[in-house]
Structure 1
Amino acid sequence: MAFVSQSQRAPNESYTFASRPRPVENRSKYREPPSEQTHSNYGNIMYDRRVVRGNTYAQLIIPTTAQPDPVEAQRQQENRRRAIARKRAREQFRPSTPEALQGRKHIDVQTELYLEELSDVIVATDVQCQTDAFLDKPATPLFIPAKSGKDVETQIEEGELFDFDREVQPVLEVLVGKTIEQSLEEVMEEEELASLRAQQRAFEELRNNELAEVLRLQEQERRHSEEKGRRIAQQKEVLKKEKETAEKIAARAYTQQYLADLLPAVFTSLRSHGYFYDPVEKDIENNFFPWLMAEVNNSLEKRYTTRELLDTIIHDVTQKRLKMFKEPEMQ
């Protein structure tokens, strides 16, 4: 953990210093030789080089934003390098403990004024004690207040303080009055309950009648709603059919108008391609004309055959006659 001391100058050119608290460094039990890396951050401002000492009126105040002089920085680095070199030279020439002989080794010894035993074994001692067992708490005695005053007594004869026949009359009047009053209240309560039951029966009858009327009205409203829905559905169906009929009529009219010029052209084209024909003409063309041509061809073939046969006979006769005419001439 690093603890940094801060020093700054206030706007009124007065110097202020602040240092964060830091714990005491853990030092070893024995002295160690100084090294180059170990350096202590002093917390006392008397040893801080940044603290200005002496008269500050004639000193040149350098603003915090000014750039450091490179020549001065180089000179400080050179001085620091020379100090480190001198320190190393002193350490080399300082006499030190010679090396241990073969088979021996150096050990650390105490150099304090008072010696103390160094041991890792901690001496422990077991000590024990036994306390008395807990006793049950005794029962708490009853509280009896202390007696005070004096005991005195007197004699009262019969009839001196209380006459039953005379004292019982108010009690009897109260009992009889309360009994009669309670009886009257019970009778009035029974009459009131009977009246309430009669009113309740009348109210229940009226409520049942109203409930029946409400159910009848609800059923009537339901039937009206169903009838209304059915009528609306029928009307929608009628309108739908009328719309479909109108669309069909319009489609038929458009089709008739479109086919008025199309049908003659189609029929003419079909007729020209032979799809529409006269049965007699078709029969003559398909049956009579082929038969007639076949018969004519047969007749012509017969005539041609007969003519060829006649030509052959004539040729044979002429050849025979020619031979007959040549034989007498040769004789």
Structure 2
Amino acid sequence: MAQSDPDEVQRQQEIRRRNIARKRGREQSRTRTPEALQGRKHVDVQTERYLEELSDVIVAKDIECQTDSFLDRPASPLFIPAKSGKDVETQIEEGELFDFNTEVQPVLEVLVGKILEQSLWEVMEEEELACLRTQQRVFEELRNNELAEVMRLQEQERRHREEKERRMAQQKEVLKKEKEVAEKIAVRAYTQQYLSGLLPAVFTSLTSQGYFYDPVQNDIETNFIPWLMAEVNNSLERRYAARNLLDTIIQDVAQKRLEMFTETQ
């Protein structure tokens, strides 16, 4: 038995550790994954950069190599080393290099996996679209109900506002009328209080000045009494004239009788 290469053993152990760590990371990510939403479900999909076979995972490793430095100089002559060794050839029989049944299996697995994955995506997309349509329909119903409720509330608010404004106008009108009535009552009370002592004085002054009189008394004072006084004066003047005339006649008669008496003696 040939002794195993320590580098190969170390490489295999590193690959095993990486696979174990990757499995643990997947398990932890799966345990941390929340529950799917309504109408959805979790499906394992490939998220690596390159496609991989579904059944057999081939371990790959990137190795770098450094080319010769003189090859990057185009001006220098191309160095071709001298041929050494012997030329040999290998005969490959038919079927040894490529077996269709064996080589096509990974391709078929990839194609089938992609088709299944695409089919699952399409089914999930249809389910998600149906769920979205249902949610949209429910949302539209809720939105229509909310719009109707908003319109009802706006109309109710408008009616309340109009009723409030109308009642405020009525209250202002009532307060205005009450104020006017109170002012009228105050003015009437003040007028009555002011005129309570003024009216008797005014009536007394007007009565004394002759603005208020008895028609009969006024007629007697203005018409009858002056006429009566004039008639009395006329009568007295006629009587006085008659008396004067009678006195003159008596004096003349007495004078004549005196003269006659003196002549007779």
Task: Name the TM-score class by shorter chain.
Answer: 0.3 to 0.5
- Taking structure 1 as the reference length, the TM-score comes to 0.39
Structure possessing the higher relative contact order (Cα contacts under 8 Å, 6 or more residues apart): 2
- Taking structure 2 as the reference length, the TM-score comes to 0.47
